[in-house]
Amino acid sequence: MNPTSEEVIVVGSGVGGLSCGILLARLGFSVTVIEKNQQAGGLMRSYTRDGIECPVGVHYMGALDCDQILRHIFEVLGVYERIPLERMGKKGVVDRYIFDDFTFDLPVGIQSYGQRLFDAFPDQPNAIRELVGKLEATSRRMNLESLLFSRPKDDSLLDSMESMGGFLNEFGCSNGLRQVLEIPTAWLGVPLEQCPQPLFLMTLASYLTSSWRLGCSGTQMAETFASRLRGLGGRILLGERVTEIHVANRSASGVSLESGNSLQAHLIVCAVHPKTVLEIVPPGAVRPAYRNRISSLEDTQGCLSVQVAVPAADLPARSYNLIRYKNIDCQPRIVFCQVNSTRLPDTNLLAMVSPSPFDDWRAWETTRTGRRGEEYRKEKEARARLLLKEVEPIFGPLDRARILDIFTPLSIRDFVGSANGSTYGVLRSTRQLLRCALMNRTPVQGLYLAGQSVTAPGILGTTIGSLMTVGLIVGRERLRSIILE
């Protein structure tokens, strides 16, 4: 493909769509990103309640130190310098895991992590040694050269099929160690037993090598991506939902928008949930086998997220995250908490996220944001109050806490179109790994997928997915040319 101003349409302006757009614009394409919402950024974007910025999909990120992978990706995208970051773990703790009978502090550094595990579980030396070895090996491979350009080994697919369940069984891991390992899998939405080892190791290693919070709002991060794309000549159409992808002779040729407009392009990247793509591709454009494969993929669970304003005197800001883990009816219940200062001098924000199945909200399935009725409001409120009660033993009484906002899987579904409001898109479990392999290709020529469902979720996983999709479109050597620049 020539480096001309060939038109490309990117559907969706989340971090997946914007990063694809930036890379393609850098490669000389004429990029149009189409976003159904009035503002760009998807889950990256924060929102304001009572003057307080509330995060949606960026609480913290890993691997942003010098020579680390997400830093390199942000540099390639040209956004690194313009996203203020705050290093976590300066006082030795990135995450504090709070279990019923013990507490575990996740430190910075793989060796320190290993040491803390040895201290906490002295009867599990073999499992810990093996885990630390695997984390070290993973972190050595966590660079763009290895991930994008090295030839996959013949047995790499088999490697990726190994589950953390296999690891736990092989080493007879104790319940305590199992629980500690369970928490990072919550950042992928995959149960520990079915979590592919490489995905688990990469996620954990990314946070262990260095962890960062935004020193700005999610909105500012989203706007940085958007303005970088515009600076490269790309355009972003806001408030325009793509309702159909045009396919002629099995090739993509353009899109129709809800507004009645249409755009032409022979290259289209859909950075939305793959099931959304099925809805907008004409019925006969893909074979039934492909349609069945995508539509039957299991998705990750949704979440309940509660934003709470608390007097700073009652709840000081913490430089680390707190994660409450409780076994309820033999099911792990994880509540992620972050306490940050806000623009208001005496008020801190307690942001909480906890998994919440779509079934809990099915009664309002046919409703739309803002019009779900009083019963829904009461249900949200009751569940949010329950979460607050659950974290009170950690923080002390929160009588003066004021709930600013609550979002549910229905909110996420309507906001970004994620199937059943799933938090992290398609479930990348070992059980369905083969069915979601090579997801960035489609049977339609010129139509590609990007976004969190194609490779891995999170800002790191999604941007790696964008690089892979762009590599597929332009070839590895052209992709390499902008990475080395």
| Residue 440 C-beta: closest distance to ligand FAD, Å | 12
Burial group, residue 109, by CB count within 10 angstroms (0-12, 13-18, 19+)? middle
Separation between Cα atoms, residue 45 and residue 86, nearest integer Å: 18
Pick the binder of ligand FAD from 9, 24, 34, 278 (CB under 6 A). 34
Geometric angle at alpha carbon 382, from 380 and 383, rounded to 5°: 65
Region from 24-32, 54-62, 178-186, 326-334 binding ligand FAD, contact rule CB under 6 A: 54-62
Q: For residues 169 and 295, which CB has a smaller minimum distance to ligand FAD in the complex? A: 295
* Among 32, 37, 354, 455, interactor with ligand FAD by CB under 6 A: 37
Q: Determine contact, residues 240/260, Cβ cutoff 8 Å.
A: no
Which residue's CB is nearer to ligand FAD, number 42 or number 446?
42
Closest separation in Å from C-beta 320 to ligand FAD: 13
86 to 105: interface string for ligand FAD, x by CB under 6 A: --------------------
Query: Of 22, 349, 353, 449, which lies in the binding site for ligand FAD, with binding defined by CB under 6 A?
Result: 353
Q: Applying CB under 6 A, does 308 fall inside the site for ligand FAD?
A: no
Which residue from 8, 9, 10, 14 is in contact with ligand FAD, where contact means CB under 6 A?
A: 14
Which of 8, 24, 27, 59 is in the footprint of ligand FAD by CB under 6 A? 59
C-alpha 96/C-alpha 111 separation (Å) is 17
C-alpha span between 233 and 288 (Å, rounded) = 38
Q: How far apart are the first and last CA of the chain?
A: 20
35 near ligand FAD, judged by CB under 6 A: yes
Helical spans, DSSP H, in 281-433: 288-295, 374-395, 409-416
The binding track of 250-289 with respect to ligand FAD, each residue x by CB under 6 A or -, is ---------------------xx---x-------------
Among 9, 11, 52, 406, binds ligand FAD (CB under 6 A): 11
In terms of CB distance, is 127 or 404 closer to ligand FAD?
A: 404
Strand bridging mode 95-98 / 52-54: unpaired
Structure-block tokens of residue 156:
């790499």
The CB-of-70 to ligand FAD minimum distance in angstroms stands at 9
Nearest approach in angstroms of CB 183 to ligand FAD is: 13
The answer to whether residues 267 and 284 touch, using CB atoms and an 8 Å cutoff, is no
20 near ligand FAD, judged by CB under 6 A:
no
**DSSP secondary structure letter of residue 426:** B
218 forms part of the interface with ligand FAD (CB under 6 A)? no
* Pairing mode, strands 103-106 and 242-248: unpaired
Least gap, CB of 17 to ligand FAD (angstroms): 6
For residue 421, what are the contacts with CB-CB under 8 A and spacing of at least 6?
A: 302, 358, 361, 408, 409, 410, 411, 412, 413
Q: Are 420 and 299 in contact (CB under 8 A)?
A: yes
Choice between 14 and 114, CB closer to ligand FAD: 14
Query: Minimum distance from CB of 400 to ligand FAD (Å)?
Result: 25
For ligand FAD, which stretch binds (CB under 6 A), given 282-290, 355-363, 437-445, 451-459? 451-459
Residue with smallest beta-carbon separation from ligand FAD: 14
- Using CB under 6 A as the binding rule, whether residue 439 contacts ligand FAD is answered as no
Q: Near ligand FAD by CB under 6 A, which window of 8-16, 105-113, 116-124, 311-319?
A: 8-16
Residue from 10, 22, 24, 44 touching ligand FAD (CB under 6 A): that is 44
Reduce the DSSP state of residue 61 to 3 states and report it: strand
Strand pairing partners for 268? 9, 447
Cβ pair 27, 470 in contact under 8 A: yes
- Which residues, 6+ apart, have CB-to-CB distance to 262 below 8 Å? 246, 254, 255, 256
CB of 34 to ligand FAD, least distance (A): 5
- In single-letter form, the type of residue at position 120 comes to A
Q: How far apart are CB 113 and ligand FAD at their closest, in Å?
A: 19
**Among all chains, which residue has been given the structure tokens 């994008």?**
148
Contact 254, 48 (CB under 8 A): no
CA atoms within 13 A on the CB side of 224: 19
Q: Single out the residue of 417, 427, 467, 470 in contact with ligand FAD (rule: CB under 6 A).
A: 417
Contact 404, 381 (CB under 8 A): no
- The footprint of ligand FAD (CB under 6 A) covers 11-17, 34-37, 42-44, 56-61, 241-242, 271-272, 276, 303, 305, 353, 412, 416-418, 423-424, 451-452, 457-459, 462
